[in-house]
With several copies, the nearest count.
Chain A
């Protein structure tokens, strides 16, 4: 078979079989060799067994989207093809060992384990696979060797040699297939890609946090958000970050708010169920006007739902989280770059406006990665809005824009905050006229916030008559779909800030004959939010809620079918 410019390789097997390893190695090796890569995984809520799969796209151009199509399927366990049957076609080249391939499918025997055992241990089979696939994509073997040497250096020469031998054997195996004409792949390399960064969504958010000056994270493990806690823990020492695993999410959010009070820049990372336990804390942040950054990694709910899958089901829950009325900001990154910049921005917003800021990520965004042409790191330390206090300092001084200069304890003045309604000095009050002043003060901050809303991005035809609206992680598939459709009357409006809603939203929608919303949930929550703000309805709602992200093909066909 012949493949050109864009190849989708899927590895499927059971949890614990090392698919993650193959994924990690392969994507990096490919990138080092100059290929654009994208990877997304789909896995079950279990540590061993079941069926997990990883898609690796290798492409002549940068790609940032999941596709259904499988060009090459490496099956590591019987049942994998069944597991992926909707995506496997006659054009799919199936590779694997007889024992691991479902009956009744043509496939090319790849004796990974056998080779591995010859070398000394079954565990090398993953490296053998990496070698084979690399060969088919005509990766230079030196690249692989170099990578393995660096990677296993600490493990000692013997391990290095064995891995290199395993890779070589696999590589030769791959070359044969190419020679035999069983497969022919033509994907352009781009030397500059070699120096690209490659990381996943969790890392992007973690790096964005550090860039935003984050030096405190208190959280409780919860898929898919744990990666951010792990990332910051790994860098706790070098960057001086307090990374604390709290006893529960209530403690986590109250610690984070306490940390801001004392002068730290704090965040929490969680998923819907954990966030549910933090909403009282959201309200506290709203009342004492504390900055707070929350990474809300969405997953299918209600309740425990499908812990390792993806969904955009918590938008309205997050928007109205916390009792009472107070401003908040909701961001929704659709790319790894945005995950980085928006998280950094979240700290700026939180600190400047003294409000909670929620980053609506999800499992798909957090677990996928691709090569990125370096991020521009802030030249200087992040801007901070903390003031020196003087003897007469009043935490809630009434100001024009409702924002009171925020001081921290330790200075000349006293810093007093209170979850009850309070006076300018932060002391509890039952003065009902003051109550009104304070409510107005807190809500007035919306004006300042609205002046800095991140505008939605219009992609595709500027003279559109059909507009496709999306937010957050659906960016990849929608964008690719629009590009592939490539007509001159359809545009994609991508929202990376979903609340407050940008004032141009209505204008954008009004200039379209047909309005389409795409959401990874069952009730079109963003459409609902847009209607509550603009009164406008969507003509078509393209929704998906089986726990999987949209694929490019799916968006294309559903846009065509209009459902």
Chain B
């Protein structure tokens, strides 16, 4: 399938020139096209932020909800209509900060959704405050002497918390990112892709160059089925590993749900029978 099918034609995109989000928009379209997922069968759920504007820039069904709240509607949409491909996509502040509790518990349900986090280590739309993944010492108008909180490690926490697919990508390598996104979307169950994205305007610390210099791919021999090994690698921060850290097969929220025990027709197609 040609990724043009997702193109909006000439529109005004609100992102800064050079923003990593353009690359992500491309990679997402590419991955979906290669997987032959048509816009009509796709729903992208986002919160609020620069990252969360992504669905506005491609042809798809979308639910651009509240800041921090992309995952609950995504979970509900998937179980209401399992025939849809559901992607929750937003920023690091949105999903790990405001939405942290949903992030934590959604993976326990293991709905078959893909969560893509534009991790630019900053709050972009609100003009540059620290995000949960901001590095210690990162200076901002609010963290005037630099961040004193330990950065949140989404990879380690997700693995420890039993997520069934955990990966990290960096948009500094689009083809590599497309490959990872495809695996994530194809994975049956909750999949997380923490996606490094340079914010050229508010994050002068974690730039394209920084991400290039501070990342590398897990070697081909790496086995993503060993949880402890995955955790070891997730703690590496001198250079951040990219790739799929951890995968496990597990029944999904939809498969386990009582509503689908007797009848498999999607919820939205059913009629109540009051007898």
Which A residues are within 8 Å of any B CB, using their own CB? 16, 44-50, 210-211, 213, 215-216, 218, 220-223, 226, 229-230, 233-234, 236-243, 245-248, 250-252, 254-259, 261-264, 266, 273, 280-281, 284, 288, 303-304, 307, 377-378, 381-382, 408-420, 426-428
Contact B15 A48 (CB under 8 A): yes
- Quick one: which of B91-118 are within 8 Å of A by CB? 97-98, 100-102, 104-105
Smallest CB gap from A46: residue in B: B14
Contact B17 A48 (CB under 8 A): yes
* Chain B residues near A213 (CB-CB < 8 A): 271-272
**CB of B210, distance to nearest CB on chain A (Å):** 20
Q: Give which listed residue, A229, A262, A382, A420, contacts B76 with CB less than 8 A.
A: A262
Contact B129 A221 (CB under 8 A): yes
Contact A419 B68 (CB under 8 A): no
**CB of A350, distance to nearest CB on chain B (Å):** 15
**CB of B32, distance to nearest CB on chain A (Å):** 14
Bound together, the chains give a CA A444 to CA B219 distance in angstroms of: 60
**CB of A218, distance to nearest CB on chain B (Å):** 7
* Chain B residues near A427 (CB-CB < 8 A): 56
Chain B residues within 8 Å of chain A by Cβ, number = 77
Bound together, the chains give a CA A304 to CA B39 distance in angstroms of: 25
Q: List 25 A-B contacts (CB under 8 A).
A: A45-B125, A47-B127, A210-B274, A220-B98, A221-B126, A223-B126, A233-B144, A239-B272, A240-B260, A242-B258, A248-B100, A250-B101, A251-B71, A251-B102, A252-B72, A257-B73, A258-B45, A259-B267, A262-B76, A304-B66, A410-B81, A412-B40, A416-B62, A419-B48, A420-B48
Contact B84 A258 (CB under 8 A): no
Smallest CB gap from A254: residue in B: B72
* Chain B residues near A246 (CB-CB < 8 A): 72
- Interface mask (B135-154 → A, CB under 8 Å = 1, otherwise 0): 00000011111000000000
Smallest CB gap from A263: residue in B: B268
**CB of B155, distance to nearest CB on chain A (Å):** 19
Bound together, the chains give a CA A457 to CA B105 distance in angstroms of: 46
Most buried by B among A233, A409, A419: A409
Contact B16 A304 (CB under 8 A): no
Contact A284 B129 (CB under 8 A): no
* Chain B residues near A242 (CB-CB < 8 A): 76, 79-80, 257-259, 267
Contact B66 A303 (CB under 8 A): yes
Known: A221-B142, A262-B84. A409 touches B129 (CB 8 A): no
Which B residues are within 8 Å of any A CB, using their own CB? 12-17, 39-41, 43, 45, 48, 50, 53, 55-56, 59-69, 71-77, 79-81, 83-84, 97-98, 100-102, 104-105, 123-127, 129-130, 132, 141-145, 201-202, 257-263, 266-274
* Chain B residues near A281 (CB-CB < 8 A): 66, 69
* Chain B residues near A420 (CB-CB < 8 A): 48, 64
* Chain B residues near A410 (CB-CB < 8 A): 40-41, 81, 83-84, 268
**CB of A199, distance to nearest CB on chain B (Å):** 15
Bound together, the chains give a CA A261 to CA B79 distance in angstroms of: 12
Known: A264-B76, A416-B62. A245 touches B263 (CB 8 A): no
Contact A215 B259 (CB under 8 A): yes
Known: A16-B201, A254-B65, A427-B56. A215 touches B270 (CB 8 A): yes
* Chain A residues near B259 (CB-CB < 8 A): 215, 236-237, 240-243
**CB of A411, distance to nearest CB on chain B (Å):** 7
* Chain A residues near B144 (CB-CB < 8 A): 233-234, 236-237
Contact A49 B69 (CB under 8 A): no
* Chain A residues near B16 (CB-CB < 8 A): 16, 47-49
* Chain A residues near B66 (CB-CB < 8 A): 254, 273, 280-281, 284, 303-304, 419
Bound together, the chains give a CA A216 to CA B77 distance in angstroms of: 11
Contact B142 A230 (CB under 8 A): yes
Bound together, the chains give a CA A230 to CA B130 distance in angstroms of: 12
**CB of B75, distance to nearest CB on chain A (Å):** 6
Contact B80 A263 (CB under 8 A): yes
* Chain B residues near A241 (CB-CB < 8 A): 259
**CB of B104, distance to nearest CB on chain A (Å):** 7
Contact B267 A264 (CB under 8 A): yes
Smallest CB gap from A264: residue in B: B80
**CB of A384, distance to nearest CB on chain B (Å):** 9
* Chain B residues near A222 (CB-CB < 8 A): 126
Contact A216 B76 (CB under 8 A): yes
* Chain A residues near B126 (CB-CB < 8 A): 221-223, 226
Smallest CB gap from A232: residue in B: B142
Extra contacts, 13 of them, besides A50-B14, A210-B274, A410-B40 (Cβ < 8 A), are: A16-B201, A213-B271, A215-B267, A238-B262, A242-B258, A242-B267, A251-B72, A258-B63, A259-B77, A263-B268, A288-B65, A416-B55, A419-B66
Known: A247-B102, A304-B67, A408-B268. A377 touches B274 (CB 8 A): yes
**CB of A243, distance to nearest CB on chain B (Å):** 7
Smallest CB gap from B17: residue in A: A48
**CB of B213, distance to nearest CB on chain A (Å):** 25
* Chain B residues near A416 (CB-CB < 8 A): 55, 60-62, 64
**CB of B131, distance to nearest CB on chain A (Å):** 10
**CB of B126, distance to nearest CB on chain A (Å):** 4
Most buried by A among B55, B80, B202, B266: B80
**CB of A407, distance to nearest CB on chain B (Å):** 10
Q: Give which listed residue, B81, B104, B262, contacts A247 with CB less than 8 A.
A: B104
**CB of A67, distance to nearest CB on chain B (Å):** 28
Contact A255 B72 (CB under 8 A): yes
Bound together, the chains give a CA A239 to CA B273 distance in angstroms of: 7
